[in-house]
Chain A
Amino acid sequence: MTTARGWVAFVLLAPGLTVLTLFLLVPLGLIVVISVFTYSPTQIWLPPVTTANYVKFFDPYYLGVTWTTVRIGLVTTLVCAVLGYPLAYFLARLRSRWLGLCLFLLITPLMVSSVIRIFGWLVILGRQGLVNAALGAVGFARVDLLYNEPAVVVGLTELLLPFMVLPLMTAIETIPRSVEEAARNLGAGSFALFQRVLLPLSLPGLVSGALLVYSVSISALVTPALMGGRKTRMLGNLVYDEVLTSMNWPFASAIAVVLLIVTGAVMATYLRTMRVLARRVGRP
């Protein structure tokens, strides 16, 4: 009985595990291996094992890019949470036939090619774009809205908002309306209701949304490349340049490993903080 069930489980899991092993674990292992090999301009990498790639990374420039990457990830997550919460609440409480349309609109950014999506932003934020034209019309000087860090955050926020809203919405839907009404009846205004009831009860959704947004934004490539300009570069852009321009695969691999570690570290810290926070608001 147990063995038969074991076999069924194995057969069902095998395809997924095979794909993950072949296309995730093996390449990841390869990256780790290549990251300690020596760079060769002619043969890309050579066997002598070295720590040079990692040593090279500990340079103010690369550390600066790492910090920029983490900062953009954190700010994007925060902006998505602030913008996404009211939206998620609205959608979770929407009892209307328009809900389907609203959800469709919400995930539209994910269905549009990133290049088209970003060219949209260029039209809006560019030097001759809509915003600057409007500012000019009311007598303000033109401002640089593109090719800086806020521009990258704007682009990423648009793309990643659904990743925040969908889990949050699911979490808010599980809070009975009567619990909200009970809070109001006991004297809670809108802010107290949010702070003391909605936020603690939707925290699991907020945590998963934040993890998704953070991990996707920190590995962004196209958005910073097209909206960040020369100054705002993220680790993904560095890896891309090293792989395709310099052909320095060992160094690119080292950067990738660092990115992985940074992502993991931030997530672990975040999850731990959230667990402590959750305990503090009285979860069992």
Chain B
Amino acid sequence: MRGLEVRDLTRCYSDAVVVGPVSFRAAEGEFVSLLGPSGCGKTTTLRCIAGFETADAGDIRVDGKSLVGLPPHRRDVGLVFQNYALFPHLTVFENVAFGLRLRRRPAAEIARRVDEALRLVDLVGLDARHPSQLSGGQQQRVALARCLALEPRLLLLDEPLSNLDLKLRLQMRAEIRKLQRRLGKTAIYVTHDQGEALALSDQIVVMSRGRVEQIGTPREIYETPRTRFVADFIGASNLLAGSVASASSDRVVVRVGDLSLTSSHGADVATGQSVTVLIRPERVRLLRSANDRPASNLLAGRVVDVVYLGEDLQVSVEFESRLALTVTLKASDTDEALAPGAAVTVWIAPTDVRLLPAERETS
């Protein structure tokens, strides 16, 4: 298979701290994110691929050839570090030329490829500067160019944007995506920022406590999380504990406290089973007029808090059974009347009521 294949990668630090077994694939040209909170093993996985840590078990293959046992400098995988890790004693040109010089390329070729790489990251004319004379964003571009100049088989990025401020981060995010698409390089991107992972990836590998929780496209991960952890970690979510009151192939009724919610998902649940109900805040709708009444999932409640976020409005609604939902509304769709104390009726489409296996809250 072309691209990267990680199979049952395991790294043991002690009996208590084990990463793996982790398995995932990245087809050639695919952008795959390893997403998870700190300590979930995503960086360890990346470092095993780069060869800075030795896996205790499992296999890592690039284009079908195993990397296991190869020292880091023979792996031909480019790594972009979180703190850039530029060589402070070398100029921008020399930083980018570093790998080419080690490979003893002719001077003319080095000059050409460094120039190309700097052009790719839109960093022309700064060749003679030292890293200390560059801004964080520029340093990150140099780090990227330094990798790209070697045309590695695989591009590894270890939280490359986390040291940049928000605006620059969004800009670099778009550029990295554009660049990766254009070059068709397989990229593995480690991040704890779900927004980055959703925006950049073809596939997301969600990790938690050393394990893979779910692998899928950004849409799959967001729309159909398989575990409570994934639902909670990615995006905002209302997670409610409930039990299945009745189940048929296209309609499941779940009791949550005194409320009953209908879901159109969950063919694999049985009556009486405990489940976690996931409702995304932006999928909850506020009903104004009395004549527009769907048959199910109508809940009457009271606004307890309203947070104005500019674009959005975050409203906490409490229901009779002290059950509460966070609802995200477009600020432009609301008015001043929506204030704490106001009585509201909300509706959730059965397709937006997701059922997850019940799980004790551990994370």
A interface, CB within 8 angstroms of B: 176, 178-179, 181-189, 192, 196-197, 200-201, 281-284
Chain A residues within an 8 Å CB radius of B83: 176, 178
Picked from B94, B102, B146, the residue with its CB within 8 Å of the CB of A192 is: B102
Give Cα A106–Cα B286 distance, bound, in whole angstroms. 73
14 contacting pairs across A/B (C-beta < 8 A):
A178-B82, A178-B83, A181-B52, A182-B85, A182-B87, A182-B146, A185-B50, A185-B73, A185-B75, A188-B73, A196-B98, A201-B89, A282-B90, A284-B132
B98 touches A183 (CB 8 A): yes
Q: Closest CB-CB distance, A10 to chain B, in whole Å?
A: 36
Q: Which residue of A lies closest to B96 (CB)?
A: A186
B150 touches A176 (CB 8 A): no
B89 touches A176 (CB 8 A): no
Chain B residues within an 8 Å CB radius of A284: 130, 132
Chain A residues within an 8 Å CB radius of B81: 178, 181-182
Give Cα A41–Cα B72 distance, bound, in whole angstroms. 73
Give Cα A182–Cα B343 distance, bound, in whole angstroms. 59
> What does the 1/0 interface line of B51-80 toward A look like (CB < 8 Å)?
110000000000000000001111101110
Residue B39 CB within 8 A of the other chain? no
Chain A residues within an 8 Å CB radius of B147: 186
Give Cα A183–Cα B74 distance, bound, in whole angstroms. 12
Chain A residues within an 8 Å CB radius of B94: 282
Residue B91 CB within 8 A of the other chain? yes
Known: A187-B150, A196-B98. A182 touches B89 (CB 8 A): no
Chain A residues within an 8 Å CB radius of B143: 182
Give Cα A196–Cα B147 distance, bound, in whole angstroms. 17
B79 touches A281 (CB 8 A): no
Known: A176-B83, A176-B85, A179-B85. A185 touches B90 (CB 8 A): no
Q: How large is the interface on B (under 10, 10 to 19, 20 to 34, 35 or more residues)?
A: 20 to 34
Q: With contacts defined as CB atoms under 8 Å apart, how many contacts are there between chain A and chain B in the complex?
A: 71
Interface residues of B in 84-103 (CB under 8 A from A): 85-91, 94, 98-99, 102-103
Q: Closest CB-CB distance, A207 to chain B, in whole Å?
A: 14
Picked from B52, B88, B99, the residue with its CB within 8 Å of the CB of A187 is: B99
Q: Which residue of A lies closest to B79 (CB)?
A: A185
Chain B residues within an 8 Å CB radius of A186: 73, 98-99, 102, 146-147, 150
A187 touches B87 (CB 8 A): no
Chain B residues within an 8 Å CB radius of A181: 50, 52, 72, 79, 81, 85
Picked from B72, B89, B103, B146, the residue with its CB within 8 Å of the CB of A184 is: B72
B72 touches A185 (CB 8 A): yes
Chain B residues within an 8 Å CB radius of A281: 89
Known: A201-B89, A281-B89, A282-B91. A189 touches B73 (CB 8 A): yes
Chain B residues within an 8 Å CB radius of A179: 85-88
| Contacts A176-B83, A184-B73, A201-B88 known; 5 new A-B pairs at CB < 8 A | A181-B50, A182-B86, A184-B72, A186-B98, A187-B74
Chain B residues within an 8 Å CB radius of A197: 87
Chain A residues within an 8 Å CB radius of B102: 186-188, 192, 196
